[in-house]
Structure 1
Amino acid sequence: MSLDEYERHYASLNSDLGGESVASGRSASGTFSGEEEKLHYIPIRILGRGAFGEATLYRRTEDNSLVVWKEVELNCLSEKERRDVMNEISILSILQHNNIIAYFNHFMDKDTLFIELEYCNGGNLYDKINQQKGELFTEEMVIWFLYQIASAVAHIHKAGILHRDIKTLNIFLTKTTLIKLGDYGLAKKLDSQFAMAETCVGTPYYMSPELCQGVKYDFKSDIWAMGCVIFEVLTLTRTFDATNPLNLCVKIVQGNWTMDVDDKVYSPELIRLVYECLDQDPVKRPSADQILDQPVVSCSRQELEERVALLNSAMKKPKLSNVTESPVAVVTTRYREVYCWGGGKFTPQKLDTFKGGNSAQQVCAGENHFAVVTVEKELYTWANVQGGAKMVGQLGHGDQSSYRQPKKVDCLQGKAIRQVACGADFTACVTDEDQMYMFGSDYYGCLGVENERGPQALEPVLLEFFEERPVRQVSCGDNHVVVLTQRGDIYSWGCGEHGKLTLLVNVLFMLGFI
């Protein structure tokens, strides 16, 4: 998009926000009509609050996808701040890249602006670094992060856009460690690759020397921020730190930093690249494209590109809305609740665990255990047994404890769970990548793996058999399992008593499923 096209696009968006508000799906009385109920977003939880509004996670019922609505109260903003908001929408609407937060829609409701954005279910890089608790990332993981960040920055720079606020808090992740660069509220469109910006903006920890000095800066200021981010990934500490902004700026301008990393842990090439990004002279810093061409990245670039494409294709994404149309957004207050009973409880009991932020998507029950998949693709399991009886691994928590309250299966961290099924004393689940995991008792061979650890698996085990046979759906009886693959093939195993496995396949054949 040329600068002229960008300016026309910006003006068009500005006129949208300056005119009458777009239909919000709400009647004059504030209630929802039957017709309007057909299009709605169900609120899940508030992700964060800012000075001018909230960011809330919603489920779009049209395609069952998760999205974020960023809410901005315009009457709280100055004229300049309103322009910044408009600027963010303009930039988001022209950036389409696998490693950049996708923009879907926006609309006005009186004095409130709503922006619909892609949701990342893995938090942000700041949290990811803190979760390491001192344990260094592998070099392979660092290069994976570096490649994705550099790819996103290269794309926005080619579009003539300077991000100006690259930091770990603005680098979002999915559960599969796919990176999405977001938050373009401070971004600026430059006339050309040689243009310079003058406004002093950004987060102090990541500000370049030229920003601290108040002189003109260009795309290389983003590269400096990238260097600070990769420094944090390598060392798990900030590049620059101080008790006040003035001392921080002095340290940055003086280049007062050290990188205490053993080259036995990370390759000299990777460490040198960080030093190049943090060169005091912006001219000597590499461009984002030059970073991607560095041997430490380029040697596996094709593999990394394919991995990003594969992970993106596996994500369930909302349909992209056209900003020139008048979108309808209906927000309801209905939440999904989970009730359970049995084991001496004759009245359904509501579980507070699945209230609000952990809304349930699917529930399943075994002989004495339960499993729930939440809308954020996380798996929770718990037991309902008498006398503190031990489990046989069907909860997947790595032990034999009988957890009475729903507990997230941390062993599946990083996996987006799509479906779960329970047998009598085992559990099966399928991920968004069509992989299948099982855990629990293997007494009847229901786990479908050669289990060297004994007659049970306390933690989820990947079924390698289905790695080349992507799984569409799994179903469990008390002691047998049936799987439908994406190719339409059906596999069954476990206890074949009374010919149930053969009979099942014959029935499916007669019904035309196979």
Structure 2
Amino acid sequence: MEKYEKIKVVGRGAFGIVHLCRRRSDGAFVILKEIPVEQMSRDERLAAQNECQVLKLLNHPNIIEYYENFLEDKALMIAMEYAPGGTLADYIQKRCNSLLDEDTILHFFVQILLALYHVHNKLILHRDLKTQNILLDKHQMIVKIGDFGISKILVSKSKAYTVVGTPCYISPELCEGKPYNQKSDIWALGCVLYELASLKRAFEAANLPALVLKIMSGTFAPISDRYSPELRQLILNMLNLDPSKRPQLNEIMALPICIRPLLNLYTDIGNVKMRRIEKPLSTVQTGPQGRTGGRVPTSRSRDGSVGLGSGKVTSLPLSSVYTWGSGISAPLRLPMLNTEVLQVSLGRTQRMGVTKSGRLITWEAPSVGSGEASLHGVVEQMQPQFISRFLEGQSGVTIKSVSCGDLFTTCMTDRGIIMTFGSGSNGCLGHGNFNDVTQPKIVEALLGYELVQVSCGASHVLAVTNEREVFAWGRGDNGIVNEMVVFSLTQSISVLIFMF
């Protein structure tokens, strides 16, 4: 495990435990599936080996990427891609009976279609295609098929005989004990498309016999007529009781209803959505500064833009951030990247902000000789200069808030996870030592809690959970919480707090 740092358990399956980990080499999040092979039966071990074998064969942007597998403490560890957007089943459930528009349905569907086409081209049957095994990226726009634990590689035979899969998605031929091939995956794909259009499963019942009867009769509720006849007919075709009458994947891709969303995948995915400002405010780029304390006349046009003398007028950035103090006598506007800043925090040497997209932005003074310096002998007469940049090391994480101490910084993600970096003196980082950290690192002692707020003092931190518990760490000179607790700790502890 020297390559990975475990963060938390994100799931427990039939064969083992699923961990969210950080890859030490680049800080990226990965999923580690831990499978205790020594405690398994022979069939279970074969299933675990099968998942590795299948994942090695697949390489597609809409399939969870396989990285490696290795043995660790008598367990098989499978490292694979992390999809932070949750499952398609969760996405559907959160709709709360508000139907998706047809374009969104087809956007998801054609990605699953392409992924399954790649799987079948490798002579592999997925055999457990369902919304719980379809994952989403951070922005919930890209889908990725996962969980190939019971997939079947077809070598010489064209059909598989073992009855596997989730009951609600099992095809009629499996219910009858008949052999099946790729057409059973197409039945499951039809169930997924029905679920996207109806926000509920096509086949559900109180018990297994009743469910089998529904599947065998092909009985399911009609699809809303808000959707096009072509979409409704496609679902009916894929849920045909006769496997031979279900369309092939290449036939589905050739349908007029699928051609446009397929083309859009290659033209739209990866585009950056730009913020549009109807009537942008205006400001000017000033020339040489006038005498100290002097006023420059301004004029305001009818549309609200501001002019400064006869200077050049330019549009404001998406956000304006100002700083003053520590030798800066008046508010100084900091340089901005093309982003919108929602929250800022200031430490002894740090100026940090959180953007609307959940990234950390920092403003730093350029180092001497960096190319930002002015003419020799004039430096003392100029305003302090800063450069802005995004902080690296939060791949796959959305930052919600930031707070700065003297020489360290804490930030909280949208999932209530605390990360710290900077100087480790006084144990301010909460990592159980006094080491400095250059990039945001998770406070592991708090992974079992969902944090809702974090705040830094000069050399200590307070964090509040969603259950109103308060954790504190750092230097405790003169007490931290209402002078109740005086301590000097290097890791997080739970403390009692008065309401104040």
TM over 0.5: yes
Counterpart Cα distance in 1 of 2:360 and 2:73: 45
- Residue matched to 1:150: 113
Counterpart Cα distance in 2 of 1:303 and 1:247: 41
In the alignment, is residue 281 of structure 1 matched against residue 242 of structure 2?
yes
- Residue matched to 2:145: 181
Counterpart Cα distance in 2 of 1:424 and 1:209: 68
Query: Deviation of residue 422 (structure 1)?
Result: 7.2
SS in 2 for 1:83: helix
Listed as ranges, the matches of 1:32-431 within 5 Å are 40-177=3-140, 178-191=142-155, 195-262=158-225, 265-308=226-269
Please say if residues 150 and 289 of structure 1, whose CA atoms lie closer than 8 Å, have aligned partners that are also in contact.
no
Specify which structure has the higher proportion of strand: 2
Query: Deviation of residue 300 (structure 1)?
Result: 3.5
SS in 2 for 1:299: helix
SS in 2 for 1:436: coil
- Residue matched to 1:356: none
Query: Deviation of residue 258 (structure 1)?
Result: 2.3
SS in 1 for 2:20: strand
Specify the code of the residue in structure 1 equivalent to 2:147: D
Query: Deviation of residue 438 (structure 1)?
Result: 3.5
Percent sequence identity over aligned pairs: 37
Query: Deviation of residue 291 (structure 1)?
Result: 1.8
- Residue matched to 1:437: 340
Counterpart Cα distance in 2 of 1:103 and 1:440: 37
Counterpart Cα distance in 2 of 1:424 and 1:293: 58
Specify the code of the residue in structure 2 equivalent to 1:268: P
The 1:308–1:89 alpha-carbon spacing in structure 2 relative to 1, beyond 3 Å, is: farther
Specify the code of the residue in structure 1 equivalent to 2:32: W
Counterpart Cα distance in 2 of 1:460 and 1:53: 37
The 1:421–1:284 alpha-carbon spacing in structure 2 relative to 1, beyond 3 Å, is: farther
Specify the code of the residue in structure 1 equivalent to 2:251: Q
Specify the code of the residue in structure 2 equivalent to 1:182: G
The 1:460–1:108 alpha-carbon spacing in structure 2 relative to 1, beyond 3 Å, is: closer
Specify the code of the residue in structure 2 equivalent to 1:190: L
Please say if residues 15 and 44 of structure 2, whose CA atoms lie closer than 8 Å, have aligned partners that are also in contact.
no
Counterpart Cα distance in 2 of 1:504 and 1:79: 66
Query: Deviation of residue 207 (structure 1)?
Result: 0.3
Query: Deviation of residue 287 (structure 1)?
Result: 1.8
1:199-229 deviation digits (Å, cap 9, x = unpaired) = 1000000000011111011101001001101
The 1:116–1:421 alpha-carbon spacing in structure 2 relative to 1, beyond 3 Å, is: farther
Counterpart Cα distance in 2 of 1:140 and 1:181: 20
TM-score (norm 1): 0.55
Query: Deviation of residue 51 (structure 1)?
Result: 4.0
Query: Deviation of residue 303 (structure 1)?
Result: 2.1
- After superposition, the CA RMSD in angstroms is 3.3
The 1:499–1:175 alpha-carbon spacing in structure 2 relative to 1, beyond 3 Å, is: same
Specify the code of the residue in structure 2 equivalent to 1:241: E
Counterpart Cα distance in 1 of 2:355 and 2:100: 23
Specify which structure has the higher proportion of helix: 1
RCO comparison, higher one (Cα < 8 Å, 6+)? 1
The 1:251–1:124 alpha-carbon spacing in structure 2 relative to 1, beyond 3 Å, is: same
The 1:260–1:301 alpha-carbon spacing in structure 2 relative to 1, beyond 3 Å, is: closer
TM-score (norm 2): 0.56
Counterpart Cα distance in 2 of 1:189 and 1:256: 31
SS in 1 for 2:227: coil
1:26-82 deviation digits (Å, cap 9, x = unpaired) = xxxxxxxxxxxxxx4222211111344210001112011000100001122111111
Please say if residues 47 and 55 of structure 1, whose CA atoms lie closer than 8 Å, have aligned partners that are also in contact.
yes
- Structure 1 unmatched ranges of 5 or more: 1-23, 26-39, 312-419, 426-433, 442-458, 463-471, 483-488, 490-497, 509-514
The 1:244–1:78 alpha-carbon spacing in structure 2 relative to 1, beyond 3 Å, is: same
Query: Higher Cα Rg: structure 1 or 2?
Result: 2
Counterpart Cα distance in 2 of 1:103 and 1:253: 36
Specify the code of the residue in structure 2 equivalent to 1:98: P
